[in-house]
Structure 1
Amino acid sequence: MDKINLSGTIAVITIFISLFLSLFLITVKTAHKLSNRLFAFFLVLTVIDMSVNLGYSSDISLDARLFRSSVFFLQLPTFYLYVLSVCYSDFRLKPKHLVHIIPFLIANLILLPRFYTVDQASKISFLAKSSSMPEIQLNHIFIHIQIALYIIAAFMILKEAKKIYLENYAGASIESLNWLFQFTLALSGFYFIALLKNIFKFTEYPYISEWLKIGLFLFELLIISWYLYKALNNPTLFRNIDSKLKLVKNIIYEEKNSEPSAANENEYSEELLKLKKYMIDEKPFLNPSLTIQDVSDGIGIPVRDLSVLINHKLEQHFYDFVNTYRIEKAMDLLKDVTKNKLTILEILYDVGFNSKSSFNTAFKKHTGNTPTAYRKNL
C-alpha cells in the first residue's frame, strides 16, 4: 500500500509540474514559439502516458483506456521534431512530417479486429489476458524499436547541429546545444529503465518492475523539474542555426574534383592576411553574437570561401578561431596593471563572452589555466 501511495504521489506531482511547464511554454513571449509548443505537446503526451499507471480508469471506457496507452507512440516523434525545431531556425512543420504518426496509427489498427470492433465482453476478456495477447506484445516490440530509432536520430541531429554551429557561430548557444544533448541523454536513460521495467514485468520477479516504476516516476520528476528550472532561468535558451548551412567537409567533398591551383593557394593566402588584419583592426570578436556571416560581410569574402579558409585551411572551428582573439584580449586585460580592479566577470563581457562557463573553458583550453589562476601567476 505504501508503495502504491508513493508512486501515486510522485506521479501526481510530476503531472502537476508538467502541466505547469506546458502552460508556461505556451504563454511565454519568445521567438521560439514552435519549439515551445512542440515541447508542451510532448509534456501533455507524457502526462497522458503517466495517467495510465495511476489506476484511476473506472470512469473511462475500455476503448479510451487502450487508446490512451497507444498515445506513447506519439511521444518520441514529438520530441524528435522538438529537437529539429531547436537546432534549426528555419524549421517548420510540413505535411511530410505526418509520416511520424504512422506507428501510432499502426498500433491502433492492429487492435481493430479483436478489440475496438468487438462487444464489451470480448474487450474485457482481451484486457484480462492482455499480457499474452499477440497485438499487445507486438506493440511493445514496436515501442522499443521506435524508442531506439528516434533517440539515435535525435543524437545524430544534435551532433551535426553542433558541428555546423562551431563552424559558423561564436556565441554562447553551444552551451544550449550541450544542455539539450544532456537532456536527450537523460531521456535515453529514462527509456532504458522503462525497458528493464517491462522485461521484469513478465519474469518471475514482477516486484522489481514495481520498484522500477517508482524509480521512473521519480526520474521523470527530476527531468521535468530540471527542464523547468532551465526554462524559467533562460526563457530564450536556444539560438537556432540555419539548416541551409553546410558542413565544411561536405563543401570540400563537392569540390574534390577541382584540383587547387597555385593561383587558388595565393588567393587563400591573401584572404587569410585580410581576415587576420580585419580581426585585429576592427575587433569583431567583441560582439558576443558574432557569426561567420558577419565577418563575411565585413571583409567581402563569400561565406562559403571563408568557412573553408577557417575550418579547413586553418583546421580550426570558427567558434575556436574567434575565441582565440577573445582570450588574447582577455590576457592583455589581465596583464594590464591599470585594469587590475576589473573583475573576471567584467573582463569576459568586455572581450565578447556572455557566459562565465564558456569563458573559463575557452581560457583554460588556450592557456592551461583558469582566468583567476592566470592573474595570480602574473
Structure 2
Amino acid sequence: MKILVLLNFAAALQGIFLTYLIAHNKPKDTKPIVLGLLTLVLSISLLGGIYGMTGYYKTFPHLINVMDPLFLLYGPLLYVYIFVLTKNKLPRFYLFHAIPFFIYIISFIPLYVKSGEEKIQFAEYIFLNNEVPLEALIMQLGRVFYITIYVVISLVLVKDHQKKIKNNFSDIEKISLSQAKKILYFFLFVLLVALISFMLGYKFSYSFSVSNNIIGFFVGIIIYALAYSTWRTKNIQLLDTMDSKGYPDDNTSVSKGKGRSVFILNDDQIKKYSKLLTTVIEKDKAYIENDISLAELSSKINIQPYQLSELISRVYGESFFDFINRHRIEEIKSRLDDPKSDSYSLLGIAMDCGFNSKSSFNTAFKKFTGLTPSEYRKQKMVSPTI
C-alpha cells in the first residue's frame, strides 16, 4: 500500500513538473497547451487518490470529492490532444466536451455543503467500504465506458491520420503517430482491466480505493508515454487528397455531387497524366529526393495534388508513400545488381536513393522484397542471376 502511494505521488510530481516546464516555455502552439492541461488534470487526480488512501480525508474532510470530477476530463482532453496532433487545430465546440464534468460537479453540490463528518461518512460508504454499494459500481463503470469512448475516437483519428500522411508524404517517420496508436491500445487494455476489477470488487466485496489508485497509476504512465512519444512530432498541414473511393476529401474545392465533393479523372486524363508521371519517375527519378511530397511531385507534372493521388490510387492501387518507396527499392535493387556497388554500404545506397533513415529503409525493403537488405545482398553475391 505504501509503495503504491509513493509511486502515485512520484507520478503526480512528475506530471506537475512537466506542466510547469510547458508553462515556463510560454507555448504559443495549441499542442503543448492541451498536453499541459492533460498532465495537470491527471496529476491532481492522482493526488486525490493518495488523499483517500493515506487517510487524510479525515483530517481535511472538505476536500472529499473535490478532485474526483477530474476523471471526467481524462477522455475529452485526450481526444482534444489527439485531434490537435492530427488536425493542427482545436475541434469545433470542444468546450462542450466538458459538460459532463460540470454536470457532475453540480450534482454533488449537496455533498459539498455538508459538514465534515457527513462527507467522511460518504467517502467511507462509496470508496472505502468493503461492502461496495451498487451506486458505487455504477459510478465506476460509467467512468470506464465514458473514457473508453474517447480513447476509441482518438484511435480512429490516429488511424485516419496514418492513412492521410501516406497519401501526402514519402517519409513519414517523423510525423507518424504509430507509437501513440500503440499507447492508446494499451489504454484500452487498462480500461478493460479496470472494468473487470470493479465488477469483481462488487461481487467479492473489496474496497475500490486500491483499484482506483492502481488504475490511476497506469493511466499516469500512459499519459506520460503519450507525451514522450508525441512531444517532438512535427506539425504538418495535410493537403486535400482523394479518398479510397476516388473522391477528394471534404475540403477540396471541386464540383459538387450528392452532398459531397466529387472529382473523377476521365480516361484521356488518366493516359495523359500517366505519361507525365512515368517521365518524372523513370527518367527524372524524382523519388530520389529525400522529402518529396505529393504536392511537390504534382507540381512537377503540373496537376493538382488530389488529381495525382487519384491517379496513383487508380493506376497503381497504392498510396503515394508506397508508390515512391517502391520505386526507391527498385532503384536500390538495380544498383545492387552492379558489382561496383559491393564497395558501398547498404545504408549509403539507400540514402542516395531517397531514404532518410535506416529503419524506414529496412521496413520498406522487407515489405517490397520479402527480404532484409543484407539477405538480399547475400543472395546476389551467391547467385548473381537472382
TM over 0.5, yes or no? yes
User: In 1, are the aligned partners of 2:46 and 2:213 still within 8 Å (CA)?
Assistant: no
What does 1:325-336 align with in structure 2 at a 5 Å threshold?
325-336=327-338
What does 1:1-378 align with in structure 2 at a 5 Å threshold?
4-25=1-22, 33-55=29-51, 56=54, 57-58=56-57, 61-89=60-88, 91-92=89-90, 96-112=93-109, 114-130=110-126, 139-173=139-173, 176-204=176-204, 206=206, 216=215, 219-220=218-219, 223=222, 226-227=225-226, 230=229, 236-242=232-238, 245=241, 247-249=243-245, 251=247, 264-378=266-380
Deviations 1:129-148 (CA, angstroms, capped at 9, x unpaired)? 22577875554343123112
Q: Which runs of 5+ in 2 are unaligned?
A: 250-255, 381-386
Distance 2:91 2:304 in 1: 31
- Secondary structure of the corresponding residue to residue 66 of structure 1: coil
> Which amino acid in 1 is paired with 2:72?
F
> Which amino acid in 2 is paired with 1:65?
I
User: In 2, are the aligned partners of 1:7 and 1:214 still within 8 Å (CA)?
Assistant: yes
Cα drift, residue 24 of structure 1: 4.8
Cα drift, residue 64 of structure 1: 3.3
Q: Relative to structure 2, which stretch is displaced further, 15-24 or 182-191?
A: 15-24
**TM superposition score normalised by structure 2:** 0.81
> Which amino acid in 2 is paired with 1:143?
R
Q: Which runs of 5+ in 1 are unaligned?
A: none
User: In 2, are the aligned partners of 1:193 and 1:212 still within 8 Å (CA)?
Assistant: no
> Which amino acid in 2 is paired with 1:189?
F
Cα drift, residue 363 of structure 1: 0.7
Identical aligned pairs, as a percentage?
A: 22
Q: Cα distance 1:339–1:250, how it changes in 2: closer, same or farther (>3 A)?
A: closer
User: In 2, are the aligned partners of 1:21 and 1:228 still within 8 Å (CA)?
Assistant: no
Cα drift, residue 204 of structure 1: 1.6
Distance 2:77 2:298 in 1: 36
- Secondary structure of the corresponding residue to residue 177 of structure 2: helix
User: In 2, are the aligned partners of 1:30 and 1:236 still within 8 Å (CA)?
Assistant: no
> Which amino acid in 2 is paired with 1:101?
A
User: In 2, are the aligned partners of 1:348 and 1:359 still within 8 Å (CA)?
Assistant: yes
> Which amino acid in 2 is paired with 1:156?
V
Distance 2:101 2:262 in 1: 51
Distance 1:353 1:117 in 2: 64
**RMSD of the TM alignment (CA)?**
3.5
User: In 2, are the aligned partners of 1:11 and 1:50 still within 8 Å (CA)?
Assistant: yes
Distance 1:27 1:312 in 2: 50
> Which amino acid in 2 is paired with 1:88?
K
> Which amino acid in 2 is paired with 1:164?
K
Distance 2:200 2:262 in 1: 60
Q: Cα distance 1:189–1:259, how it changes in 2: closer, same or farther (>3 A)?
A: closer
Q: Cα distance 1:42–1:319, how it changes in 2: closer, same or farther (>3 A)?
A: same
> Which amino acid in 2 is paired with 1:318?
F
Q: Cα distance 1:339–1:29, how it changes in 2: closer, same or farther (>3 A)?
A: farther
Structure ranking higher on relative contact order (CA contacts 8 Å, 6+ apart)? 1
Cα drift, residue 356 of structure 1: 2.2
User: In 2, are the aligned partners of 1:161 and 1:241 still within 8 Å (CA)?
Assistant: no
Distance 1:332 1:30 in 2: 48
- Secondary structure of the corresponding residue to residue 118 of structure 1: coil
Distance 1:167 1:88 in 2: 15
> Which amino acid in 1 is paired with 2:363?
T
Distance 1:221 1:107 in 2: 22
Cα drift, residue 213 of structure 1: 5.8
User: In 1, are the aligned partners of 2:325 and 2:364 still within 8 Å (CA)?
Assistant: yes
User: In 2, are the aligned partners of 1:6 and 1:214 still within 8 Å (CA)?
Assistant: no
Cα drift, residue 292 of structure 1: 1.0
